[in-house]
């Protein structure tokens, strides 16, 4: 092969590898993760049409109640759905109970939500922190947010500073193709194993048999949060054409989206729902 041909092939390989910044990972504790001293965690829930987001909200609130994670700089966003059809699952009462005023409603008003979240992102970045996005749903809102931030922070390499973690193939399938392509090419997009399954490298938090959750809790605030999450889930699960979550229909729990937060916080070695409650319920 001629030297000129070899050089051309090398250039093509380098260009292709740089163009798409996404990566699939087998999580290891040696990877750089969330810095609790300066990073911002955005936890974004689509709430359409699966009710598992409600349980994921309660599980994240449970994690925040632990002293190790109570100082996390976070912000929650509701209604970050993509192209999927079906009815929304109204989560506002649960978000308010779980997060106080530390959340934003993107349902039906994405642009206003972006304008509310953008200053939080810029502030964390300007102070040397990174942004970690747990997309407990699709990445359309993330794409809107990053597009809004880019022109104002053109001097920063956002591909090194903003990280999206996604665990679900289906979430990617119902993200608009242009949004998915944008986030994969412009920031650090990390695909982790699915949080619905046990033993694949991330926690498995879909547990139809875990029905006695209330017996695991003593914190009155967490009991109230979980009760509301479970009640809302039972109210909307499979109703009016919404997705029927069989684990929740069986009386169990499904907070599989929390696997993303666990990976970000470097605690993805949690096995399942039983171990999560054992570690963080009280």
Domain residue ranges in the chain:
34-280
Query: Tens digits of per-residue pLDDT, 257-272?
Result: 999 999 999 999 999 9
Of 53, 172, 164, give the one whose Cα is nearest residue 107.
53
Distance CA 207, CA 178 (A): 34
Compute the mean pLDDT over every residue in the chain, rounded to the nearest whole number: 92
Residue 29 sits at φ, ψ, to 5 deg, of -70, -10
Question: Is the omega angle on the peptide bond into residue 49 within 30 degrees of 0, that is, cis?
Answer: yes
The tens digit of pLDDT for each residue in 18-40 reads 445 566 654 443 348 999 999 99
pTM flag (> 0.85): yes
Residue 28 is predicted with a pLDDT of 40
> What does the angle CA 168 – CA 151 – CA 157 come to, to the nearest 5 degrees?
65
pLDDT at position 282 is 83
41 - beta bridge partners?
74, 132
Q: Select from 3.60.90, 1.10.1060, 3.40.50, 1.10.3470 the CATH code of 34-280.
A: 3.40.50
Sign of CA dihedral 267, 271, 277, 282: negative
Segment 85-109, tens digit of pLDDT: 999 999 999 999 999 999 999 998 9
Three-class DSSP category at 142: helix
Distance CA 221, CA 113 (A): 27
Burial class of residue 227, CB neighbours in 10 A (0-12, 13-18, 19+) = middle
Q: H or E segment at 103?
A: strand 103-105
Which residues partner with 136 through β-bridges? 45
CA-wise closest residue to 218 among 159, 281, 270: 281
């Amino acid at each position: 092969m001629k030297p000129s041909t070899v050089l051309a092939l090398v250039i093509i390989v380098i260009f292709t590898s740089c163009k798409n910044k996404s990566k699939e990972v087998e999580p290891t504790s040696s990877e750089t993760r969330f810095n609790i001293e300066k990073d911002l965690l955005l936890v974004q829930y689509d709430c359409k049409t699966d009710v598992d987001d409600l349980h994921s909200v309660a599980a994240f609130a449970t994690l925040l109640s632990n002293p190790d994670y109570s100082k996390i700089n976070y912000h929650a966003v509701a209604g970050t759905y993509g192209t999927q059809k079906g009815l929304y699952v109204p989560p506002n009462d649960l978000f308010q109970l779980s997060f106080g005023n530390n959340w934003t409603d993107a349902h039906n008003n994405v642009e206003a939500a972006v304008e509310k979240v953008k200053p939080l992102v810029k502030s964390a970045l300007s102070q040397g922190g990174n942004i970690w996005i747990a997309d407990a749903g699709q990445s359309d809102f993330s794409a809107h947010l990053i597009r809004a931030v880019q022109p104002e922070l053109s001097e920063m390499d956002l591909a090194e500073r903003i990280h999206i973690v996604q665990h679900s193939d289906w979430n990617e399938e119902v993200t608009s193709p242009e949004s998915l392509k944008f986030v994969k090419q412009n920031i650090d997009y990390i695909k982790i194993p699915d949080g619905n399954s046990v033993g694949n490298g991330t926690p498995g938090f879909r547990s139809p048999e875990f029905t006695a959750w209330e017996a695991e809790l003593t914190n009155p605030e967490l009991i109230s949060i979980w009760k509301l999450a479970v009640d809302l889930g039972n109210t909307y699960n499979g109703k009016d054409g919404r997705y029927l979550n069989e684990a929740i229909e069986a009386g169990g729990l499904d907070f599989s989206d929390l696997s993303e937060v666990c990976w970000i916080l470097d605690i993805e070695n949690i096995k399942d729902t039983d171990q999560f409650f054992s570690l963080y319920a009280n």
